[in-house]
Structure 1
Amino acid sequence: MRNWMDGWHTSLKISVSFLVMILIGFIFLILPFSQAPGSEATLFDHFFHAVSLVTVTGLVIHPVAHTYSLFGQIVSLILMQVGGLGLMTIVASAIAFMGKKMNLRDKMVVQASINREDATDFRSFMRLILRYVFVFEGIGFILLSFRFVPDFGWGKGLFTALYLAVSGFTNGGFDTLGAVSLTAYVHDPLVNIVIALLIFLGGIGFHVWFDVSQLIRKWPQRSRRKSLRYFFQELTLHSRLALSVSLYLIVSGTLTFLLVEFNNPDTIGNFTTGQKLLASFFQTITMRTAGMTTIDFTEVHSFTLFSFILSMFVGGSPGSTAGGIKTTTFAMVVLLIINESKGQKNVNIWNYTLPVNLVRNAVVIFLIFLATFIAGTGLLSLLNPEVNFILLMFESVSAITTVGMSARLTPTLGVISRIILMLMMFIGRIGPITMAETLARKDKETKNIQFTDGKIILG
């Protein structure tokens, strides 16, 4: 993989790899045979879609089904898959499968893109990632085909099942069902549960997959202490934290949506109790990382939108296809606040003390994300003063966290506003990766320079 990028920093290589993929995707999407009959998409619209697909966000100006032919939809599927896994990861995996060797610098690039600490047994590691990806997507495809083949026939049904399986696992949020997303399947347990599980598995990260699978393989060999409690305690600290935060957000989000929207006739007010619970669960799962929906989000209460803005901001876990500041980053910021309020010098959890540089980096990532979100929302509000501010916040955080959920606002925005959203999508996709890599590099390079203590009054 020796090439003209050899002298560049890892973060720059990752950024350029995504830009290259966006440009390649754009070229394929504008081809005449990629267009659906009657497509009204402009060149700018296709570029916007390419950015959204590669960053696995899900924001669109025109629905995929109304814009692209079968060929164009296949292109969009490939862009989602490559964008979700990361171009450098795909290239590294291809090299590993061909039996060729990567140089150390290129290994460092892929390590940063998948949040891995070392490069030992790299080929086996990359193969394992792809194996998990295709197993999860394959199972999802088979299960979804039982619903969509009867609905659409063999050809379209199988393709729809495949598209939704990839879109769910990569947390892309795209579909080929038109402008209504999955609203026709709001009461369908198979579609809701399968896609929700794909979104969760894609958003929890490969660190957790490997950790849980290793414990499951070893568990039958244990002679005692086989309870779920001890299983959880055997997990690594990262997996325990990622799973705990994710489950907390799912449960609290489901209950919040259920209670706030319970009597809203425009959303779930007319559903049975079981249907309300299923709809609330699905919106909570998809709203945090993916971008699909089974209800009309323009009709929900403002408080519901605000609660999901907070949920989207957190996003998924490191080493996953999801966006956001990540569950572990959020957890460390919260733990810092809790420990500081208790007068505790160190940040502790479950008999572990977190390194100071790790907590500091979490705070930096949190603040940079927050600043980008505030700046993007502010610019959108200046350009669109007539739009409800909560909708602008919703669209902005959806872009920066690459969730892709929209309250039907994106198609109505002007060109400059869409450019802002594209920049936010790109920053949201490569930002956490490059920030983590840059901060890790600075931790090694920065010297501890200390001057006379300065005193500033706070509060």
Structure 2
Amino acid sequence: MTEKNHMFSFINKLRIGSVTQKLTVSFLIVILIGSLLLSLPFAHYSTAPDTPYFDHLFTAVSMVCVTGLSVFPISQVYNGLGQIIALLLMQIGGLGVVTLIAVSMFALRQRLGLSAQSLLQSALSRPDNTNLKHYLFSVYKITLTLEGLIAFILMFDFIPRFGWKSGMFNSLFLAVSAFCNAGFDNLGPDSLKDFLLNPLLNFTLAFAIIAGGLGFAVWLDLFQAFKCYLQRRPRRFRAAVRQISNQSRLVLYTTAFILFGGTLLSWLTEMGNAETLANHTVPQQVMISFFQTVTMRTAGFSTLSYLDTEAATNFLYIAQMIIGGAPGGTAGGIKVTTAAITFLLFKSELSGQSEVTFRHRVIHNKTIKQTLTVLIFFFALAAAGYFFLLLSESHLAPTALLFETVSAIATVGVSMDVTPELSSAGRFIIMLLMFVGRVGPITVLLSFLQKKEKVIHYTPTDISLG
């Protein structure tokens, strides 16, 4: 039995019953190993300040949960080896340790048992086990191809700026971080603020963030549609578009709406702010607003200080953080599908429809129930986390703590510069929020409460809602 097989057997033989529990534990194992490696002296610069293990644990949680919150600039503490460990943690966090083990076993032509297949299916957010091996390899091909392309484009700026060695590594580091929506950079304490007006970096990272946040199922649908378009004679766009599933269409429509609406609204609220946009040209203002809207979809990069942005703008950012990206991708939040189904439910009630529909198809009641469960659990956890932060961090501004809370549970990673100021209790709360946000509110809830589905029919009753 290979080492990878041993790891799968270890996860499966843990005294935990459900697939969701095993998935949750797999993230905990990676976090523990990563924090231990990051805390060892060989991963640090000799001139780095002494940092306690708890700070490295916080950093490991943030990396594996692809969040981006940090109590110190990683470029000032971790040397080249430490940054390679950080890059691997972000990559594993973005794709999931279960998928990494599975693709290694498939590559060695070993078969997965039914239990391992169920675990992998849950990790990939797949509805069934059909073509699981093909889908998994497609996920890795998409990831490596896009990360390589993004790194290559960034090299045009970074190699002249940092030299060949540092330029290539920094490009790869940022490409992985952006595609995985991790939000970490190794460019120094000012992060990306020096690149505020750099079109190449802004649009390249924006593409990387959107690509990772769309979800792999959407990319496979788009590739299938493009393949269909090329193969047909004569080429017909409508025939190709029909290859795209309703799930992918809902993701694409909602994503486009959020990006356009978020860019427009943030530009309108900031265009008169001398600290952010007012001193730049209109095209530059739109680019800056677009990048902030993209990064708020759980990426965590920042080219602005959110202490300088207007309160109304920060409110918009919080809303965008909550929505997040698509299921089956590297983004967090409640997911764009959850937000879209909530809107469709609201629309159906206003229009008097008895069922929730999208493109003349009925959305199952089970999906509606899961949507409401995710919303309730997400906001309940966010409210609880914010409440305890207000208790433990009374010396910090409540607005900044709310921003931090949503950023953590939505795995975004942006901050109003309060993360280093948090006490040990505050950092522990943020770690819990990041973990729940990455593993998924519904996954964490089911890992504690999952039982066999019961079909019970009772006599209906009427409840007045006002």
* TM-score under structure 2 length normalisation: 0.94
Counterpart AA for 1:366: L
- Give the count of matched residue pairs: 456
Give the equivalent residue in structure 2 for 1:164.
Answer: 174
Question: SS of the counterpart of 2:184?
Answer: coil
What does the per-residue CA deviation read over 1:132-182, in whole Å, with 9 as the maximum and x for residues that have no partner? Answer: 100000001111011101000011111110000000000000000112111
CA contact (8 A) 2:356 2:363 kept: yes
Counterpart AA for 1:278: M
State how far apart, in whole Å, the 2-side matches of 1:73 and 1:225 are: 47
Aligned ranges for residues 8-407 of structure 1 at < 5 Å?
8-36=17-45, 37-223=47-233, 226-227=236-237, 231-407=240-416
Shift of 1:38: 2.6
Shift of 1:230: 6.3
Q: Decide which moves more: 430-439 or 270-279.
A: 430-439
Relative to structure 1, is the Cα distance of residues 259 and 411 closer, same or farther in structure 2, using a 3 angstrom cutoff?
same
CA contact (8 A) 1:232 1:240 kept: no
What does the per-residue CA deviation read over 1:292-335, in whole Å, with 9 as the maximum and x for residues that have no partner? Answer: 01111211011111101011101000100000111111111111
Question: SS of the counterpart of 2:303?
Answer: coil
Counterpart AA for 2:75: A
Shift of 1:431: 2.3
> Of 438, 449, 461, which residue of structure 2 is paired with 1:454?
461
CA contact (8 A) 2:24 2:447 kept: no
Counterpart AA for 2:414: M
Counterpart AA for 2:455: K
Counterpart AA for 1:454: T
Give the equivalent residue in structure 2 for 1:411.
Answer: 420
CA contact (8 A) 1:163 1:176 kept: yes
Question: SS of the counterpart of 1:299?
Answer: coil
Question: SS of the counterpart of 2:226?
Answer: helix
Give the equivalent residue in structure 1 for 2:9.
Answer: 2
Shift of 1:233: 4.8
Where does the alignment leave 5 or more consecutive residues of structure 1 unmatched? none
Relative to structure 1, is the Cα distance of residues 30 and 386 closer, same or farther in structure 2, using a 3 angstrom cutoff?
closer
Counterpart AA for 1:54: V
Relative to structure 1, is the Cα distance of residues 124 and 196 closer, same or farther in structure 2, using a 3 angstrom cutoff?
same
Relative to structure 1, is the Cα distance of residues 351 and 215 closer, same or farther in structure 2, using a 3 angstrom cutoff?
same
State how far apart, in whole Å, the 2-side matches of 1:214 and 1:447 are: 38
What does the per-residue CA deviation read over 1:373-415, in whole Å, with 9 as the maximum and x for residues that have no partner? Answer: 1111111122223433221111001000101111101111111
Q: Give the CA RMSD over aligned residues.
A: 1.9
Counterpart AA for 1:165: A
Q: Decide which moves more: 198-207 or 292-301.
A: 292-301
Where does the alignment leave 5 or more consecutive residues of structure 2 unmatched? 1-7
* TM-score under structure 1 length normalisation: 0.95
CA contact (8 A) 2:322 2:410 kept: yes
Counterpart AA for 2:107: F
